[in-house]
Amino acid sequence: MRAMDLLKPLIALLAIVNPIGAVPFFLHFTQGFTPEQRRHTLHVSAIASFVVIAVSGIAGLQIISFFGISIASFQVGGGMLLLVSSLNMLNAHPAESRQDDVGEGRAKAESGASIAVVPLTIPLLTGPATISTMVIYAEKTRTFWEHAVLVGYGVVIGLATYLAFRASGRIAKVLGQTGINVMTRLMGLILAAMAVELLADGLIKLFPVLATGGLSR
């Protein structure tokens, strides 16, 4: 696998997870928290993000194999999911967010329950699109070290999440909601291009005739 191909999963993960785009939700859900509670929340979110990505990279292929799903079918489904996520992001919504998750998170925050894992990490940061991306790229790895690097990207995502949430107050002041929306849309555009590439690759595997430009007349 070429170096550029090896970097594609990291770029896709950063676009999907988009910790900066989740900063407003972090600030909202942790309103009224003490500094210690807020630090605990960002630590748990960072660790949970790494765990979701690492488990998806290590066991994702075995899971879909257990259910008898081909990687090509999963790739098409995952590509469609990424495309939907990118469309959400182009409208300045987090890739994995849903309105009921936001409402649930607000209720948990008001009741004093921990919101670090649900919904802050799952599904706002990592969710189906993130898991699909890891499984698709795990299938493309050819050596142990390539797979280890892929799983190791979870550390990068966890660190990016930690740094973004740690600096959430400063980020909100510097970028403002408009700046965060612009960044979310930019990451959505990058993700849309990658989703189309994954869809095309999966469809060619399912229908090899597409690679030849269609049936001959």
pTM above 0.85, yes or no: no
CA-wise closest residue to 120 among 216, 47, 202: 47
Statement: residue 205 has pLDDT above 80: yes
Quick one: pLDDT band at residue 129, thresholds 50, 70, 90? confident
Q: What is the largest CA-CA distance in the chain?
A: 71
What are the pLDDT digits (tens) for 206-216? Answer: 888 777 765 44
Nearest-angstrom CA–CA distance, 119 and 106:
9
CA-wise closest residue to 94 among 43, 40, 18: 18
Cβ distance 17 to 130 under 8 Å?
Answer: yes
Mean pLDDT score, 64-85: 84
What are the pLDDT digits (tens) for 4-59? Answer: 677 889 999 999 898 988 888 888 778 778 888 889 999 999 999 999 999 999 99
- Quickly list DSSP for 45-71: HHHHHHHHHHHHHHHHHHHHHHTT--H
Query: 117-121 contacts: CB < 8 A, separation 24 or more?
Result: 117/44, 117/45, 117/48, 120/22, 120/25, 120/26, 120/29, 120/41, 120/45, 121/44, 121/45, 121/48, 121/49, 121/52
What are the pLDDT digits (tens) for 94-111? Answer: 666 545 555 555 555 444
What are the pLDDT digits (tens) for 116-125? Answer: 887 788 877 8
Nearest-angstrom CA–CA distance, 181 and 91:
8
